[in-house]
Structure 1
Amino acid sequence: MKDPFKYGFDRAEDMAERISEVLECPITIEDVNHRLLAYSTHDNCTDPARISTIIGRRVPGKVINNLWKDGTIPKLLASDEPVRVKSIDEVGLGDRVAISIWRNNEVLGFIWALEINKKLSDQDLELLKKAAQAVKSKLLKMHVHESEKVERNQEFFWKILTDNFSSSHEMKEGFQKRHLTPPSQYAIAILKFNDEIADAAEKQLLYLLNTSHHVQIVLSTIDYDQFIMLIEPKGDRPLYDAKTFMGWLLAQLSERFNIHSARSGVGGLYTNLLDIEKSYRQALSVLLIKKRFPQETNQLDTISELGLYQYLDIYREQRKKDGFVNYSLRKLKEYDQKHHTNLTESLKVFLEKDSNVNTAAKALNVHINTLSYRLKRMADIAEIDLHNAKQKMTIYLDLKIDEMNL
């Protein structure tokens, strides 16, 4: 079969037009992150998904989600053969054929051919495979350029994270030099994994970041087992947006790529660029606290959600410096050890359940009367007033410090 794409093209738009002319259907070319690179002209032969992609210069998130659910994108990421895509009316997607563009074992992008007025024949599908080969050389040049840009941005990001700027003006100039818009409000967000982040996992993360609509990812980098991001919330509820984004990211890693081991941490929200390093340290603190107290902090992401947990290190150091031992807690432990009871644990659960006897009894799997009796014994043995908020807070803090010392 004669190859109608064998001669070179200067522009991606010319390539899209040529493919459209040969296959007699509208064509779009995307990079691997579903950003629009080129599209052919069309008259009335199109669908809402294509129009939205052209207007937004990227495939809408709802379309991507549905293409994952129906298995289209997983197929494209596993094979270089054309994939037929059935219409999905709820997202305005008509019938199409898609093919991925490969370099060795890496997907560089996709070609999408709409089947509105014509269904592609077997011969057309062979031509589409030739078109993918022709587009590859163009994408390779773009890929190299993008990789160099990412490397430069990562160096800049590490300079920020390690506090190597003397003024916000100098930092703004660094953003502008790299054609980046300095964030007006931001936070550092980190995903921490159990092991070093492999190349495959990095590509999966970058794919998700480039298809997210929750926040703007200004910069990102990897530090062994940590994926670090400078994020800019887009809405008028920045804290909620940051937390929603991290929840979405963890869910997508689990559902799409079978990665379940990541923990998330988000530092404080700031407007002054010189506070980026501070937000970074706070995000690391969140991860450390979540490691120490995994069950009770599992649903917490941001430094502002941690409450007293963010002060435990300071409190512990002060206790060490003073040599202070909580008398009430010591008495309870001594009683438990001598009588083989678990009053200390019962007190901890009671305090964690906001002094709610019913909730605490359920958590301890005991009758409410049993817990009420234990609380009276605790008050007598430890000489503590469990109706006094200050006394309860003090002994709770010392219980948490005990856990940190284990």
Structure 2
Amino acid sequence: MLDIRALVERVGPALLRVVDLPESTDCVADVVIAEPGGAPAVAGGDLVLGVAVGDRGAAVELVGGCGAQGAAAVLLKPPISTDDAVVEAARRSGVALVEVLPGTAWAQLVWLIRAALAGTGTQEPDTRSPGLGDLFRLADAVADVVDAPVTIEDAHSQVLAYSARQDLTDPARVSTIMGRKQPDDVLAKFRARGTFRQLSRGGSAVFVPAQQDGTLPRLVVPIRMGGELLGSMWAVVPGEVSEERSTAFADTAPLVALQLLRWRAVADAERQRSAGQVRLLLEGGEGWRTAANELAVPDEPYRVAAIEVPSPEGTAEGHRLAMWEWITRGIGRRPLVTEIGTVLYALVPDRAGSGGWPSLREALVSHDATPPPLVAVGTAVAVADLPRSRAEADELLSLLRTGHLSRRVAVHEDHWHQLVLNRMAGAATDAGISSLGPLPTLREHDRTQGTDYLSTLHSWLRHPGDPRQAARELRVHPNTFRYRMKRLTQLVDVDLDDPDVRSALLVQLLAARWAQHG
């Protein structure tokens, strides 16, 4: 337990200064925020913060009332803290008077005092976790300052922390906390009112009146550091808030910004460590078992999803980072994501439910990014075979890039036959088969005479004995198709009745087509 003098020394002279101290002082029991217009209900040993006290009369009344209830000390900011009448009232009441130095955020003070009373000091959090515990404690301190339930959110309206007090709430706040994100319909209403536009431009607290659907008023303040909007704080309030309390709420933003930066640094370090282990799983080799143990990967089938984010030149890294953060929020408790070159890779369990492949597939298909990402997914394999699933995903991704596949999401089981053709085309091109047989003559005739004999032959081979279907594929009349085939066989000497000849021609034509699009 700490008395007033020891507590001031613990918090530090940069924030607190003793103005008047009784001969005997009690140990501090708790921190209480004073309401304007009188003394709060306090117990013996309480430390009372005059957050909303702005004039001499209110300060004198507060000090007198707190002394009568046995409070240990009253904390005020200058110039009220050193006003002669206020100092005299403190002496008569037997309560300590402590000055909160200018520039001190009330939330920072609440946080530090509670840490000191708990004997925790201000040591760094355990770096094995993202440091969210400190954000939750800070949310509690901010809630005491503004006297309202508070959520701390990042720039994407994801809830990072929220205060424990729930005395004032509505369905929107409940949904926000349960889903760890403001619901889309709630966000749309705040956007329509211009709330986010005000947050992006200013630095003071923004009051949002109650809405017709029962959503209670909000007091919102942006969280910035060096011009960057890191997030925002939302307080559910019963109505208009005094200027003093609104200012005190806004004053907490720099402290929260520092904590957010620290949390982000720890989270980034954890993400990079995890990404390195995921790369080991994708590459295989001797280190994969250690990586699997480090990541606590369950013994179940996984798919590798290769994700490429098309972006304007010079913005690719930012687009990939945004996609990385979106995936990290969207595919499970501990998503396994890494970046190799310009491609993001996600390891996704091949099972139904939250975090499984079906839920990610649905999210990726409906993702409204512009331009949309290209997603290629390998087969489900054991953890030891992840390099094979990655190789399949990479090969599919190359088909998406070249336009061989027109879908946004390509899965190995759906497109294995196109992978066969792709590999065959590569092998055939390397073997130089395009110069064999009658095809060079037909190709030169098409080039010089404007005919379409190669496409005609390809359709005939695809639909043997069915000239009507072949003609439909070429969008010509069946008689036109028959005429072309007659002229083609007059131009070159080829035995189309020989099945081996037909197979060789089809391989040549398929290889040429895939090589042309590659």
| TM-score, L = length of structure 1 | 0.73
2: distance between equivalents of 1:311 and 1:358?
A: 25
1: distance between equivalents of 2:450 and 2:216?
A: 69
Give structure 2 stretches of 5+ with no counterpart: 1-53, 55-76, 78-104, 116-133
**Gap change, CA 1:135 and 1:330, over 3 Å in 2:** same
Q: Which is worse superposed, 226-235 or 371-380?
A: 371-380
Three-state SS of the structure 1 residue aligned to 2:222 is strand
User: Which amino acid letter does the alignment assign opposite residue 403 of structure 1?
Assistant: Q
Q: Contact 2:209–2:239 (CA<8 Å) still a contact in 1?
A: no
Partner of residue 109, structure 2? 7
2: distance between equivalents of 1:360 and 1:215?
A: 51
Partner of residue 44, structure 2? none
Partner of residue 158, structure 1? 279
**Gap change, CA 1:119 and 1:202, over 3 Å in 2:** farther
**Gap change, CA 1:242 and 1:261, over 3 Å in 2:** closer
Partner of residue 99, structure 1? 221
Q: Deviations over 1:292-326 (max 9, x none)?
A: 3x264344522333343212343134424654347
User: Which amino acid letter does the alignment assign opposite residue 127 of structure 1?
Assistant: A
1: distance between equivalents of 2:145 and 2:178?
A: 25
Query: Is structure 2 residue 305 aligned with structure 1 residue 188?
Result: yes
**Gap change, CA 1:302 and 1:30, over 3 Å in 2:** same
Partner of residue 514, structure 2? 401
Query: Is structure 2 residue 415 aligned with structure 1 residue 306?
Result: yes
Q: CA deviation at 1:152?
A: 1.3
Q: Deviations over 1:212-257 (max 9, x none)?
A: 3x666622233343233223366269665443333334x2x32xxx
1: distance between equivalents of 2:514 and 2:325?
A: 40
Q: CA deviation at 1:130?
A: 0.8
Q: Deviations over 1:142-165 (max 9, x none)?
A: 222212212211221222222233
Q: Contact 1:84–1:96 (CA<8 Å) still a contact in 2?
A: yes
The one of 107, 111, 115 aligned to 2:233: 111
The one of 472, 480, 484 aligned to 1:377: 484
Three-state SS of the structure 1 residue aligned to 2:406 is coil
2: distance between equivalents of 1:123 and 1:285?
A: 62
**Gap change, CA 1:89 and 1:401, over 3 Å in 2:** farther
Give structure 1 stretches of 5+ with no counterpart: 255-259
1: distance between equivalents of 2:399 and 2:244?
A: 60
Three-state SS of the structure 2 residue aligned to 1:306 is helix
Three-state SS of the structure 1 residue aligned to 2:274 is helix
**Gap change, CA 1:342 and 1:111, over 3 Å in 2:** same
Alignment of 1:38-57 (within 5 A): 38-43=162-167, 45-56=168-179
2: distance between equivalents of 1:345 and 1:171?
A: 52
Query: Is structure 2 residue 397 aligned with structure 1 residue 287?
Result: yes
Query: Is structure 2 residue 254 aligned with structure 1 residue 130?
Result: no
Partner of residue 248, structure 1? 366
Partner of residue 139, structure 1? 260
Query: Is structure 2 residue 155 aligned with structure 1 residue 35?
Result: no
2: distance between equivalents of 1:74 and 1:281?
A: 45
The one of 344, 368, 379 aligned to 1:268: 379
Partner of residue 230, structure 1? 347
User: Which amino acid letter does the alignment assign opposite residue 284 of structure 1?
Assistant: D
Greater C-alpha radius of gyration: 2
Query: Is structure 2 residue 337 aligned with structure 1 residue 220?
Result: yes
Q: CA deviation at 1:167?
A: 5.8
Query: Is structure 2 residue 139 aligned with structure 1 residue 16?
Result: yes
RCO comparison, higher one (Cα < 8 Å, 6+):
1
Q: Contact 1:300–1:306 (CA<8 Å) still a contact in 2?
A: no
**Gap change, CA 1:183 and 1:323, over 3 Å in 2:** same
2: distance between equivalents of 1:347 and 1:79?
A: 68
**Gap change, CA 1:93 and 1:334, over 3 Å in 2:** farther
1: distance between equivalents of 2:303 and 2:259?
A: 35
Q: Which is worse superposed, 138-147 or 297-306?
A: 297-306
1: distance between equivalents of 2:286 and 2:141?
A: 49
2: distance between equivalents of 1:269 and 1:87?
A: 50
Q: Deviations over 1:72-97 (max 9, x none)?
A: 5576566545455577888x865433
Q: CA deviation at 1:381?
A: 1.6
2: distance between equivalents of 1:62 and 1:26?
A: 21
2: distance between equivalents of 1:73 and 1:4?
A: 25
Q: CA deviation at 1:41?
A: 0.8
